[in-house]
Amino acid sequence: MAGFDAQIEESQRQVSQAQAKISEVTSRIEAARQKLEAGQDISMDIENATLEEVQAHADAMNANIAELIMGLDDVTAGFSKDFDEMRSKTGWESFVGIFARGKSEAMRQERLRSASIDAKLQDLIGKSDTIVKLLDGQLAVLEEQKAKVEGNLTGTLDEREATVAALEGVRAEIQGMDPKIIELENKIAVEQDAAARTKLETELAALNVRYNALVQDEQVKLAKSQTLERYIEKGKTWVDSLQNQAATQMVLINKLQTDTKQRVVLYDALTKSLKTAQQQDVAHRINEIGVKTDQEAQTAMLEAHEDHMVFARKVLEQKAKADERFARRFAAIVEKHDKNLYGG
């Protein structure tokens, strides 16, 4: 499938670009942390580490992969043809049937016994695995970058907590000095003895030096606390973004894996039913592609193989959950596929 291969190449390109952009943002946050430790200004670093471009690229990448996954429904068109051929007689078998009905039936039964959809199933599984590998690689990068940022945040949170505690200590000391300064100023105002007055003024001068130093220290600690807070906010926002992107990858992987598991189980069961001539009429109904094929296969398998009921129900429940998660995150893609607007 040239179209599928082209989409895979485009997805690989987008994934590589996304990984580069993600690493760049994390590197900027790490560099900002190093500047912070060195007492340098990090405002520009933090502001430049914006997430909009990265998020927009991730959305485009995931939308392309979601379309790729939805497109796998169309790969199942070949199964419909196979099922119909297994149900129907070939031209030669029909011709032989004119003269020897028993011979015609024997020929058809022999053809059914040797019929196999294994090659097409393996092709479908292979395509699914190709996409899963892309998603797994992206998920690994997201989790790695998230761990890095969370590590930085842990140290920064501890540092800000200590800075805030020190700031509160300075402010408490400043507040405690105010009554002393006022008291000294009042004493100086009424003191008549020059020596005593000089002593009081010396004490006041010392208190003012200390007071001014504390006020300056307060401003430094306040600025540091605010800088740390901005860093933490950016870091948390980036962690949230990475977490959301990782959740999207997990939804895509789950959708792929459950879809493939379902098709392997159901199509194999239907093939066995057709071979034993238990569900030949059902095969005639399987003439739609993609999701329609899945639905007919489910009906046929459940009707013909009661011994598979428990296992099949589990598979179908897993698929229903995966489809629900997928639809929540990619409603627009699902609608686009349902309206058959690819490339429109």
Q: Is the dihedral of CA 140, 145, 149, 154 positive or negative?
A: positive
Neighbours of 298 (CB within 10 A): 19
Please identify which residue in the block is written with the tokens 């009906």.
Answer: 299
Model confidence at 209: pLDDT above 80: yes
More confidently predicted of 153 and 328? 153
Q: How confident is the model at residue 284 (pLDDT cuts 50, 70, 90)?
A: very low
pLDDT score for 132: 87
Give the separation between CA 157 and CA 239, rounded to whole angstroms: 14
Mean pLDDT along residues 32-41: 77
Highest mean pLDDT out of 14-23, 29-38, 92-101: 14-23
Q: How confident is the model at residue 332 (pLDDT cuts 50, 70, 90)?
A: confident
Mean pLDDT along residues 252-259: 85
Q: What is the DSSP letter of 16?
A: H
Integer CA distances (angstroms), 53 to 26, 56, 223, in order:
14, 5, 29
Residue 184 contacts residue 126 (beta carbons within 8 Å): no
Mean pLDDT along residues 286-302: 54
Residue 282 contacts residue 298 (beta carbons within 8 Å): no
Q: How confident is the model at residue 283 (pLDDT cuts 50, 70, 90)?
A: very low
Mean pLDDT along residues 293-322: 63
Highest mean pLDDT out of 72-76, 91-95, 199-203: 199-203
Q: How much is the mean pLDDT over the chain?
A: 77
pLDDT score for 61: 86
pLDDT score for 288: 40
pLDDT score for 162: 93
Mean pLDDT along residues 18-30: 86
Tens of pLDDT, residues 82-128: 666 666 677 777 777 777 777 777 777 666 666 666 667 777 778 88
Identify the CA nearest to 65 among candidates 242, 255, 323.
Answer: 255
Which of 316-321's residues contact partners 24+ apart within 8 Å by CB, and which partners? 316/262, 318/258, 318/261, 318/262, 319/258, 319/259, 319/261, 319/262, 321/254, 321/258
More confidently predicted of 33 and 204? 204
pLDDT score for 282: 39
Q: How confident is the model at residue 199 (pLDDT cuts 50, 70, 90)?
A: very high
More confidently predicted of 339 and 190? 190
Q: With residue 200 as reference, give the H or E element that holds it.
A: helix 194-275
Phi, psi of 284, deg, nearest 5: -65, -30
One DSSP character per residue, 270-317 reads HHHHHHTTSSHHHHHH--S-THHHHHHHHHHHHHH-GGGHHHHHHHHH
Model confidence at 309: pLDDT above 50: yes
Give the separation between CA 324 and CA 255, rounded to whole angstroms: 9
